Amino acid sequence: MPLKEDRVLRHIRRLLVVMLIAVSGATTALAAPPESTSPIRIIVNNWTSQIVLSRIIGEVYARMGYSVDYAELDTHVQWGRIHRGFEHIQVEVWEGTMTKEFDRAAKFGQFERPLS
């Protein structure tokens, strides 16, 4: 299998795992009231898989009773906004183009690397 197809399959598997975790977590947490009335701010970038995942995660939080806002941002702008606490969730980071920025943010404890 060519390298590009292998990366695509790996990416699809990661997306499926994130969606399964989100859906399973939402069903157990539906009974608990939200911890805050402040909106959760979810970043939306300009590619399909990231848009879909952002909306899915937003819907999960909304069904749990949280208020959700979406921020349509360029990938370069998002890092400073996350660092300053203006945005809260980025569901997808492309390793090929954003590794340096992600690793720097993770070094300061602003991100977790849930899937490797």
Q: Which amino acid is at 78?
A: Q
- 7 phi/psi in degrees, rounded to 5: -65, -40
Q: Is residue 26 part of a domain?
A: yes
CA gyration radius, the chain? 15
Q: Is residue 89 part of a domain?
A: yes
Q: Is residue 116 part of a domain?
A: no
Question: For residue 1, what pLDDT band results from cuts at 50, 70 and 90?
Answer: very low
Print the domain residue range for 78: 3-107
Please state the pTM of the whole predicted model: 0.67
Q: Where are the beta strands (DSSP E) in the chain?
A: 40-44, 68-72
Is the distance from CB of 15 to CB of 22 less than 8 angstroms?
A: no
Is the distance from CB of 42 to CB of 69 less than 8 angstroms?
A: yes
Block residue for tokens 């975790």: 21
- Counting the structural domains of the chain, the total is 1
What would the pLDDT profile of 48-85 be if each residue is shown by its tens digit?
A: 989 999 999 999 999 999 999 999 999 888 888 988 88
CATH code of residue 47: 3.10.105.10
Q: Is residue 113 part of a domain?
A: no
